[in-house]
Amino acid sequence: MTTFILNPWPWWISGPLIGLTVGLLLFLGSRNLGVSSSFRHLCALAFPKSSLPYLATDNVREASWNLLFVAGIALGAFVAVRFLSAHPVEFLPQHYHSLSGALKLLGGGFLVGLGTRWARGCTSGHAIMGLSNFQKPSLYAVLSFFAGGLCAALIAKIFFGALS
């Protein structure tokens, strides 16, 4: 049993658990599983008198469950990596302990945030929630993400040799 908990779970266990979570959220609370919108909620909390309509119209009380959900994901990931892993992982690798490393993290986070806002959700949100709600834009987004990933892998293989 310990081996099962300490090693990564196979897709045929974690996938159905994600599906059950989606179903429970929809059935019990009419809520969509999503993480990228939590940044909007945090900004609306930090700037309650914002003149930006995007933040001013955000109902933080209604979205508080989402912030707790995201905090639970972060806490669960920390506990899993530090205490339930056969090979504990360092939170922030040494090569990021510099100004250039911090700028790379900040820039990457900004680009990911911009992309999720532009796409109106993250890859997982479109693939898991959007497709389960039969939303055409999510189908287009997922197909685009997949095509973009294939193109990036092909370009990496051409320019950098075999992928590891």
pLDDT single digits (tens) 4-50 = 777 777 889 888 888 888 888 888 888 877 787 788 888 888 888 88
Q: Decide: 86 and 7 in contact? Cβ < 8 Å.
A: yes
Q: What is the pLDDT of residue 143?
A: 92
Considering the domain architecture, whether residues 69 and 17 belong to the same structural domain is answered as yes
Considering the domain architecture, whether residues 85 and 104 belong to the same structural domain is answered as no
End-to-end Cα spacing for the chain: 31
Whole-prediction pTM: 0.68
Considering the domain architecture, whether residues 59 and 14 belong to the same structural domain is answered as yes
Considering the domain architecture, whether residues 73 and 108 belong to the same structural domain is answered as no
Give the C-alpha separation, 62 to 58, whole Å.
Answer: 9
Q: What is the DSSP letter of 85?
A: -
Residues 6+ apart with CB under 8 A from 110: none
Q: Is 23 helix (H, G, I), strand (E, B) or coil?
A: helix
Q: What is the pLDDT of residue 147?
A: 94
Environment class of residue 37 by beta-carbon count within 10 Å: exposed (0-12), middle (13-18) or buried (19+)? buried
Considering the domain architecture, whether residues 65 and 33 belong to the same structural domain is answered as yes
Number of domains into which the chain is organized:
2
User: Which structural domain range is residue 80 located in?
Assistant: 1-91
Q: What is the pLDDT of residue 1?
A: 61
Q: Decide: 66 and 51 in contact? Cβ < 8 Å.
A: no
Provide the token pair at 133.
């709600």
Q: What is the pLDDT of residue 26?
A: 83
Considering the domain architecture, whether residues 84 and 130 belong to the same structural domain is answered as no
